Amino acid sequence: MWHLIKKTDKNKKEYRIRLSASVIATKGWLNGALSFCGHDESETSLYRGHFIELLKLFGVVNEEIDKVILSNAPRNNQLTAPSIQKEICNCFAAEVLKKIFDELCDDVFSILVDESRDVSKRNKWLCLVHVMETTALSLKKAIDELFAHYNLSLSRIRGQGYDGASNMSGEFNGLKALILKENSSAYFVHCFAHQLQLVVVALANKHHEIFNFFNEVSSLVNVVGASCKRVDLIRESQRERLGLNPEVETGSGQNQELSLARAEDTRWSSHEKT
């Protein structure tokens, strides 16, 4: 009996060390917003993905960790599976949300709603809830369920901001109107950045010189980007131009080499550098 108890305590200690290593690795990649998995995570792979490779480094610098992780751990308890990684990530997300809600307490707040898609082309709701439809009623239902889950009250909303789509800001049946029916203090504000973007794009399309300019840029990006040799020529030309111009300033954010990017109406964050 004593032998079994001693072995159980040893297993618990090893499990805690293994779990702590996985949690710390997850925290590191979450802080850097980096990917976890690799294309080939088998033991014969040269690089098994960021998560597992970081665990391997833990083992290199700490002998106690090395003894209980990866191949030295039980096959059914290595704590490296994608499902385990996601579960740890969800725990971090829950703690962050708990902190936000603790700070919010019973104070008033505003909500911002927009569509976002991941690589699987699934719409995300606050990166928490997958919505099958984007109708006003579906979005309102998603908000109600989210509020119920986190014990938030619709009556505490004092502002709501969306784009100008009819399902969002429709006067009678939009999401804005549905929330206002329950809370008349939830004032709606059309996203100013979205309004400005719509105006700029509309004016640019009406101005022939601007339209022709971006049309030429798009064609150049297609032609140059399709060939490594042409990209190298562009880089060399840029180096010569900067080398012959003594007035060019250098430093962070100035005259760095950037990849060729296609200009689009909705590429919000890259108009200037593109």
Give pLDDT tens digits for 71-105. Answer: 888 888 888 888 888 899 888 888 888 888 888 77
Average pLDDT over the chain, rounded to whole? 78
Confidence of residue 258 (pLDDT cuts 50, 70, 90): low
Residue 52 pLDDT exceeds 60:
yes
8 A C-beta contact, residue 190 and residue 163: yes
Average pLDDT over residues 131-157: 82
| pLDDT of amino acid 223 | 85
The residues spanned by each domain of the chain are 2-89, 106-190, 196-246+258-270
| pLDDT of amino acid 137 | 82
Residue 274 pLDDT exceeds 60:
no
| pLDDT of amino acid 48 | 79
Residue 179 pLDDT exceeds 70:
yes
Tokens of 160: 């709501």
Confidence of residue 4 (pLDDT cuts 50, 70, 90): very low
| pLDDT of amino acid 2 | 44
- Helix or strand or coil: residue 118? coil
C-alpha distances in angstroms, 90 versus 26, 27, 84, 96, 151? 11, 11, 10, 10, 18
In this prediction the pTM is 0.57
